[in-house]
Amino acid sequence: MSLRTSSVLFIALAAIGTAATVAAQADHNHGTHGMPATKAAASAPDTALANGVVKRIDKAGKRITIAHDKLPNGMPAMTMAFSVKDAAWLDQVQPGQKIRFATDAADGMLVVRLEVVK
């Protein structure tokens, strides 16, 4: 086998190995049954919580309006509406109630954790 043929063969095998690694990683990133793997960090207990006061509840729209302190993601204190991960949380709070909450790290507009302050 010539040096040139050996080089071409080596490059081809390296490319195949790289493609197999990429395919294996893509398969690993998808959970069971081809569904994307979920990130546990979104609802993990160590998610940083912000303080807020419930201003409005929109059960039909699955949204909650919160007057909040500065959020861990850097958003300044303000009053704004958020979607909620679990609509059942809206039955546990009422306007004027103090809460602690965490938002999704990706976009910050989804409440992924909510606790009522006692």
State whether 30 and 44 are in the same domain: no
pLDDT tens by residue, 71-86: 998 999 999 999 999 9
| Angle ∠(18,24,25) on CA atoms, nearest 5 | 90
Domain range spanning residue 83? 40-116
| 103 vs 20, residue with greater confidence | 103
Q: What is the 3-state secondary structure (H, E, C) of 1-68?
A: CCHHHHHHHHHHHHHHHHHHHHHHHHHHCECHHHCECCCHHHHCCCCCCEEEEEEEEECCCCEEEEEE
At 99, the pLDDT band (50, 70, 90 cuts) reads: very high
Beta bridge partners of 53: 67, 98
State whether 53 and 21 are in the same domain: no
pTM reported for the whole predicted model: 0.61
CB 62, CB 16: distance < 8 Å: no
State whether 53 and 111 are in the same domain: yes
At 5, the pLDDT band (50, 70, 90 cuts) reads: low
Mean pLDDT of 56-81: 96
Mean pLDDT of 38-49: 52
Beta bridge partners of 56: 65
